[in-house]
């Protein structure tokens, strides 16, 4: 019976992880629920400065100046009765983002077919990547997806207690300046800590 992951919304054809009354595509998505709870409590005004810095900053892969957007890709490998699907999300420039999706397409095309589940999942993974490759992007302003990515950057820092925060009326205010705001938008930090999307599997 098919279902959709409660965290990322991915279609689950086989397997998945059951937690309470919810079904997830992976253990990583199960763990991401706690991160999403923190992220949902960060007010917009606290997010805007970090979002703009990521959008206008250098690419986390090549270092070229922005605009930056969030790029997603799916990678699937399978052999005999085993298979694994990974969801990646990165803050990249257009050139690096497009390249990462093409690499994921080739990955699925070469390694996805070698089991019965792979025969079912490979066409879906190829379709996801193709849709991402064809996605129209307006890079004059930060996208909603990049906004969500930036929110998770802050939420992960708060959850790890690397970024101090305080609670006001049920909202979580990240004290980014106290943690060194410039550190959280450096390409190497975003690439090492958040190039793999917080809460995703390894979320190029």
Average pLDDT in the chain:
78
- Look at residue 180 in the predicted model and tell me its pLDDT: 53
Residue-range domain boundaries for the chain: 69-134
What is the pTM for the complete model shown? 0.70
pLDDT digits (tens, 9 = 90+) for 72-92: 899 999 998 888 888 888 889
Of 101 and 29, the structure prediction assigns the larger pLDDT to 101
Q: How far is Cα 172 from Cα 176, in angstroms, rounded to an integer?
A: 12
Could you tell me which residues come within 8 angstroms of residue 180 by beta carbon, excluding any fewer than 6 positions away? none
Of 177 and 123, the structure prediction assigns the larger pLDDT to 123
Pick the closest to residue 148 from 74, 69, 201 (CA basis): 69
Q: Which two tokens stand for residue 115?
A: 């089991």
């Amino acid at each position: 019976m098919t279902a959709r992951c409660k965290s990322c919304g991915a279609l689950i054809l086989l397997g998945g992880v059951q937690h309470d009354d919810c079904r997830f595509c992976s253990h990583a998505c199960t763990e991401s629920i706690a991160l999403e709870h923190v992220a949902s409590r960060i007010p917009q005004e606290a997010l805007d400065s970090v979002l703009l810095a990521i959008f206008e900053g250098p690419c986390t892969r090549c270092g070229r100046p922005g605009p930056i957007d969030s790029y997603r890709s799916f990678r699937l490998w399978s052999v005999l009765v085993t298979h694994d699907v990974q969801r990646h999300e990165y803050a990249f420039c257009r050139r690096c983002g497009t390249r990462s999706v093409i690499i994921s397409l080739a990955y699925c095309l070469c390694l996805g077919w070698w089991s019965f589940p792979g025969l079912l999942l490979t066409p879906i993974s190829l379709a996801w990547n193709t849709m991402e490759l064809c996605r129209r992007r307006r890079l004059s302003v930060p996208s909603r997806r990049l906004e969500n990515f930036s929110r998770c950057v802050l939420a992960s820092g708060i959850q790890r207690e690397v970024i101090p925060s305080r609670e006001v009326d049920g909202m979580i205010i990240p004290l980014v300046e106290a943690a060194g705001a410039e550190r959280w938008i450096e390409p190497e930090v975003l690439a090492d800590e958040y190039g793999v999307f917080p809460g995703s599997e390894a979320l190029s």
